[in-house]
């Protein structure tokens, strides 16, 4: 994977984990984009060991997300979600079979986003009755429920003007991104360092790592993420607008350190060290070594990449 492709993939992965999966884009005229109308069901509850669990469904997919302790695990299963029902099996980890019973009055939410038309949503509260049984790998969390408060939301088609990511970010920032990935293992690590003199609250360092797995009938995305208080957690040596060397020493749930060195002459870039992370359901996972491809870049600007980074640090 090329350097910039690795960086773009890192940003996309972080946004997807932090913001959820957006509805599929529909066809719109040039200069505009659209999202299809959708119906979704969602419940939120508490699992064991301090984790929060959310369950949602849309069409032929059911998503179970576990969050807590600087970590998130998302399970994507083929199933059925519609007509007031959620049904799916999460491999050997559990299953869900719930039916929705409306309770109370539905609430209309008017979309207020600038440059957009449509997108209004109608949310019906109620109770899901049936069975939800789930036990995470290595017993990191569990939930067993038969009656759960939740909602069903119907969202109309939305059409928005594409402003290219420029409007709304009238400030400059400088960012350093170091990314490493072991594609065959589905493991990636990312360090984002941001400096903004005009918006000091955006300055800081975020570390993120993901592990992607595909057990039978299931897709699993595990991530750990933390914002470092120590500015020395990411040290960078640059020359001529390039990252020559970068060392990361992130706090828990990471431990150890790793150093990136840019390719010089015939020598390829290296990513070496003792860096590892503690993932729910997996335990310790190595995040450095010869199986990783790595890249470091410097970015400057007030749009594009800035918009992506603001979504992480803002």
- Taking the C-alpha atoms of residue 61 and residue 88, their distance in angstroms, rounded to an integer, is 8
The pTM of this model reads: 0.81
Label the pairing between strands 158-161 and 116-118.
antiparallel
Predicted local confidence at residue 27, as pLDDT: 55
Contact 191, 250 (CB under 8 A): yes
- Taking the C-alpha atoms of residue 185 and residue 187, their distance in angstroms, rounded to an integer, is 5
Predicted local confidence at residue 265, as pLDDT: 67
- Taking the C-alpha atoms of residue 185 and residue 167, their distance in angstroms, rounded to an integer, is 39
Predicted local confidence at residue 14, as pLDDT: 45
CA distances from 261 to 4, 190, 250, 257, 268 (A): 16, 15, 18, 14, 9
What residue segments make up the domains of the chain, in order of their start?
Answer: 3-15+165-313, 32-161
Predicted local confidence at residue 171, as pLDDT: 52
Predicted local confidence at residue 310, as pLDDT: 47
pLDDT in tens, the chain (314 residues): 444 445 444 444 444 444 344 444 455 567 788 888 888 889 999 999 999 999 998 888 999 999 999 999 999 999 998 888 999 999 999 999 999 999 999 999 887 666 787 778 899 999 999 999 999 999 999 999 999 999 999 888 888 887 654 444 445 678 899 999 998 899 999 999 988 877 787 789 999 999 999 998 899 999 999 999 898 999 999 998 889 999 999 999 999 999 999 987 666 789 999 999 999 999 999 999 999 999 998 877 544 444 444 445 55
Peptide bond just before 253 cis, omega within 30 deg: yes
Q: Where are the alpha helices (DSSP H) in the chain?
A: 3-19, 305-313
Q: Which residues make Cβ contacts (< 8 Å) with residue 189, sequence separation at least 6?
A: 179, 180, 181, 207, 208, 209, 258, 275, 277, 287, 288, 292
Assign 3-class secondary structure to 136-185: CHHHCCEEEEEEEEEEEEEECCEEEECCCCCCCCCCCEEEEEEEEEEHHH
- Taking the C-alpha atoms of residue 83 and residue 75, their distance in angstroms, rounded to an integer, is 22
């Amino acid at each position: 994977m090329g350097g910039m492709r690795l960086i773009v993939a890192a940003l996309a992965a972080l946004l997807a984990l932090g913001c959820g999966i957006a509805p599929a884009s529909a066809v719109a005229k040039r200069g505009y984009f659209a999202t299809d109308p959708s119906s979704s069901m969602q419940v939120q509850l508490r699992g064991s060991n301090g984790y929060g669990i959310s369950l949602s469904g849309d069409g032929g997919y059911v998503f179970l997300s576990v969050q807590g302790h600087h970590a998130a695990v998302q399970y994507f299963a083929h199933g059925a979600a519609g007509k007031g029902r959620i049904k799916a099996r999460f491999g050997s980890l559990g299953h869900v079979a719930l039916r929705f019973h409306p309770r109370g009055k539905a609430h209309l939410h008017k979309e207020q986003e600038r440059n957009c038309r449509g997108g209004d949503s109608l949310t019906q509260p109620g109770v899901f009755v049936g069975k939800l049984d789930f036990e995470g790998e290595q017993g990191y969390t569990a939930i067993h429920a038969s009656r759960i408060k939740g909602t069903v939301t119907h969202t109309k088609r939305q059409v928005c003007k594409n402003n290219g990511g420029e409007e709304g970010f009238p400030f400059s920032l400088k960012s350093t991104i170091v990314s490493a990935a072991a594609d065959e293992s589905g493991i990636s690590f990312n360090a984002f360092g941001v400096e903004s003199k005009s918006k000091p609250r955006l300055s800081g360092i975020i570390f993120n790592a993901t592990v992607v797995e595909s057990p039978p009938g299931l897709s699993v995305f595990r991530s750990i993420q933390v914002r470092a208080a120590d500015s020395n957690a990411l040290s960078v040596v640059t020359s001529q607008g390039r990252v020559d060397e970068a060392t990361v020493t992130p706090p828990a749930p990471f431990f150890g350190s790793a150093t990136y060195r840019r390719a010089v002459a015939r020598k390829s870039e290296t990513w070496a060290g003792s860096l590892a992370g503690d993932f729910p359901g997996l335990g310790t996972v190595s995040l450095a070594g010869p199986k990783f491809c790595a890249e470091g870049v410097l970015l400057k600007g007030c749009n594009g990449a800035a918009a992506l980074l603001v979504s992480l640090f803002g």
